[in-house]
Amino acid sequence: MDEERYKADDTDESAVDEPALGESHARKDDRRYTYSDYLEWDDDQRWELIDGVPILMTAPTVQHQRISGNLFASLHSFLKGKTCEVFYAPFDVRLNADTFDNTVVQPDVLVICDRTKLEKTGCKGAPDFVIEILSPSTSSHDRFLKFDLYRKSGVREYWIVEPDTKKVSVHTLSNEDYITRVYGEADVAPISVLDNCAIDLAEVFPKD
């Protein structure tokens, strides 16, 4: 199986460029915000906050929800009685809570093993495992912007699920790089951060 390595850089988070947004993502306005501001919003819409820039999240499709539900069910069953716990969106993850506190994401599915990171509104710090399910409006957002955010913040394993091709790109953190393996619908994909856990992808993707 082919592997790729993504090399970390030394970018200063305080000097991060404007996030690159997909065509279907909407900005709230031109201000920069923090998590404290984010908590004050009450407009019945889902937002993420990337380096202070608010990004409107679109509603998921039926296919997206089926895949998300199947992944959550598999992980929930495996983790019963274990220390790690699985959650699903909407669930706030404050990736830089101890510094600028201006990045809040809502992964589709995530696993947290350090329960001291849990707070009333979500997770303070990087989850151990994150899954994002691609849609036309989030593809570049998840492949590039979130990929870099998760790597830099220390998410140990990041899955990108592609509903159209029925493939999963598994990115495992090693020395600040992501090692990438790609699995297809017929494969059983191991989760390296959860001992003895693997997911049969044939049970994840809805049958046509």
The answer to whether residues 180 and 171 touch, using CB atoms and an 8 Å cutoff, is yes
pLDDT digits (tens, 9 = 90+) for 152-182: 999 999 999 999 999 999 999 999 999 999 9
C-alpha distances in Å from residue 37, one per residue of 31, 33, 34, 52, 206? 11, 6, 5, 10, 39
Residue-wise pLDDT for 64-110, tens only, equals: 999 999 999 999 999 999 999 999 999 999 999 999 999 999 999 99
**54: part of which helix (H) or strand (E)?**
strand 53-56
Q: What residues form DSSP beta bridges with 180? A: 4, 171
Q: What is the pTM of this model?
A: 0.86
Please give the Cα distance from 68 to 102 (Å, whole number). 26
